[in-house]
Every structure is written in C-alpha cells, then in structure tokens.
Amino acid sequence: MTDAYVAIEGGRVVEARSRAPGTTRGELVFTTAYTGYEESLTDPSYEEQILTFSYPLIGNYGVRAERFESDRVHPRGVVARELTEDVAEWLESEGVPAVDHLDTREIVTGIRDEGAMKCGIAAGPDATEEDALAELEQCKHMSDHTEIGAQVSVGEPEVFNEDGAGSTVALIDCGAKGSIIDSLVERDAVVHVLPYDATEDDVAAIDPDLLFISNGPGDPENFEQTKTLVDSYVGETPMAGICLGQQVVASALGGSTEKMEFGHRGVNQPVRDLRTDRVVMTTQNHGYTVAEPGDRLEVTQVNVNDDTPEGLENDDLDIITRQYHPEANPGPNDSLDFFDDVLAMVED
C-alpha cells in the first residue's frame, strides 16, 4: 500500500509505505551498518538528516534503551527496505516519520553517484506527493544550519564520575555520543561535559588535564566558539577530538575542512596507521572532512578507500584526534586503545 512519498533533490518522488506518520525534511544520507541501528538512530551526528539504512531488515533484535547513545532519536526521518514493528512503534512514539517498502538500493546508489541530497518526506493516510515536494522545497543545505550545535548540546554543565581518581576531562559537547563519556569513565576519568559554546572561563574553572572536543552534526566551520577554545588552550592543555572534533581542531589550528560527496557512514571503514602500517576497521559517521591539516598537525592515519585524514597528531603540543569513532557500539573494537593513548598522553 502506498501511503508515503519521498521527494529527492531534482524533483524525483519515490512511493513507499508509511511506518511512522508525519512530514519532514533533511539531508538524505545512508549508512551501511548491518547492526547498531539503535545507536545510529540516537547518534546526535544525524541531526537534520534523513537516514537511509542500506541493510534490508532493521529491527531484528528489538529496541533496548540501554543501547541508546543519547536521550532521543536524532535523524529527522528514517528510510528502510523493511522496518520491524518494534522500530516503527519507537519512531512513531518519538514523532520521527519513517517509511519502508521502497528500493533502498536505488536510493543508496543515487547518493553514491550524485552525493548527499536534500529530501522531503510525507507519510500517513493523508500524505500526498505535493506534501513531500513542499518539504523538499524548504530543506536547507547542512552548512546553513548555523546553530545546529544548540540543538544537540547540553544546556548546562554536567559531571560524570565526580569521585574518580583519574584525569579531569573537559568534554565540549558538540553532540557527544554517550559511549565517549562511558569510555572515559571506564578509565576512571572525571568528565565535565560543557556546552558547545562554553567560554575560556568555563573551562578554566574546571582546570582540566584534558580538553576533549566531541563529535557532532553539521559543518565544523559553524562551531566558532569551540574553535576559539582550541586556539586558547593549544600548547597549554593536552587536547583530543573525535569526528567533528578532529575537524574543529584542524580548522582552529590553520587547517581547512570541506564537504564530502556522500561521507563515511558505516561500521566497516578501513583505516591505515602511517606510523605502524596497521589497518583497523572503524565505525564512522561524518559528511565533512579535513581537507588540509595545516602546518601544526601531522596526518598519522588515513582512510584506505579515499586517503582522507583519519588521525591527526602533534606530539609537542599533546594533540591526538580521530575522524572515526573509537568508542563505537556495537563495534568494531579495533581502536578502543585511543582512549588509553589519550589518557597516557595526559599522564606523561
């Protein structure tokens, strides 16, 4: 039964089945992950996007809140070949439109050929093609979401593992996944989560051993205050970053970033360490990347598929960043030692 429509940039409209009703719009992207759908759907990095799953069946092991990366679903809409009742009911309860019974292979191929595209969705018994096209017409480019940090960041500082005996970490929340906090707490760090627009005084009040810039959605060039923090503390406080955090650090230190055609989103992205020649499999979710690292950062890891920078470091300034997600659940776990390396840098 056709009761949903997906309008894609260029004017093409795809018929589908409604699984969670509503109208929505966002940047149409895809993930190749075949597990971890709960983690993907609650990843703040998918804010303002329509998430397409390339794997055909989503929901085959249920929905459990303990696997969530945040307290809500972040994609503006969901597209799949088949969604189970568990996932469909969860998305409906969150007010996130979802559709299935369409050819996701064609959508994924289109994104790979043409790049991430604007998209509009209309789903439900009264939905029309015109409704989906109206949503598409209102869709903005990701870089135009200039205040996206405010949509995903904490409003007030939070502290985790306050009585821990390890390093004190100031985590700048640009859309941090819960697993990053968990990975630091597991190593007995005291984690102060600060808003994305925290000031130098906010950080100074904590007097951290480590400044950590989190992952997050959108264009890193829109995180101006976060870049100011990096510039203020470089050389004074050890620094780490993941995903958007790597891009922000590079931009703040004289590098440049750029929009990718369709990004890296999945759980099987191969990364090569240039110092050890070791290849690890990684989880990734980003649509922007570092174009040039600048003179102050060394590229230490690259993506095997396209040579984009996956790791940046400066041993003298005590900086380690990664474009991928070492903390990713449900895996792979090849790069969990990133957190050990970062905290060892602090101790040294």
Predicted confidence (pLDDT) per residue in 196-245, tens digit: 999 999 999 999 999 999 999 999 999 999 999 999 999 999 999 999 99
Is the separation of the CB atoms in 169 and 157 below 8 Å?
no
**Of the candidates 106, 140, 174, which is a domain's last residue?**
140
| ω into 208 cis (within 30 of 0) | no
Q: Are residue 174 and residue 206 in the same domain, yes or no?
A: yes
Q: Are residue 222 and residue 303 in the same domain, yes or no?
A: yes
Q: Are residue 19 and residue 85 in the same domain, yes or no?
A: yes
Which CATH number belongs to the domain containing residue 299 in this structure?
3.40.50.880
Domain span at 135: 4-140
Residue 156: alpha-carbon gap to chain centroid: 21
Q: Are residue 252 and residue 328 in the same domain, yes or no?
A: yes
Is 285 known to sit in a ligand binding site?
yes
Is 327 part of the annotated catalytic residue set?
yes
Rounded to 5 degrees, φ, ψ at 145 are -85, 75
The per-residue pLDDT for range 12-30, each reduced to its tens digit, is: 999 999 999 999 999 999 9
Is 139 part of the annotated catalytic residue set?
no
Is 244 known to sit in a ligand binding site?
yes
Is 49 known to sit in a ligand binding site?
no
Is 243 part of the annotated catalytic residue set?
yes
**Of the candidates 113, 140, 167, which is a domain's last residue?**
140
Q: Are residue 152 and residue 135 in the same domain, yes or no?
A: no
The per-residue pLDDT for range 44-80, each reduced to its tens digit, is: 999 999 999 999 999 999 999 999 999 999 999 999 9
Number of domains in the chain: 2
Of residues 192, 243, 264, 313, which has the active-site annotation?
243
Report pTM: 0.96
Q: Are residue 77 and residue 225 in the same domain, yes or no?
A: no
Tokens of 211: 């400044």
Question: Any idea what DSSP says for residue 276?
Answer: T
Q: Are residue 157 and residue 120 in the same domain, yes or no?
A: no
**Of the candidates 115, 140, 165, which is a domain's last residue?**
140
Confidence of residue 1 (pLDDT cuts 50, 70, 90): low
Burial class (CB in 10 A: 0-12, 13-18, 19+), 146: middle
Is 218 known to sit in a ligand binding site?
yes
Q: Are residue 136 and residue 154 in the same domain, yes or no?
A: no
b/e 69-102 (16+ beta carbons within 10 angstroms → b): bbeebbbbbbbbbbbbeebbebbbebebbbbbbb
Q: Are residue 154 and residue 35 in the same domain, yes or no?
A: no
Of residues 74, 145, 286, 325, which has the active-site annotation?
325
Q: Are residue 194 and residue 109 in the same domain, yes or no?
A: no
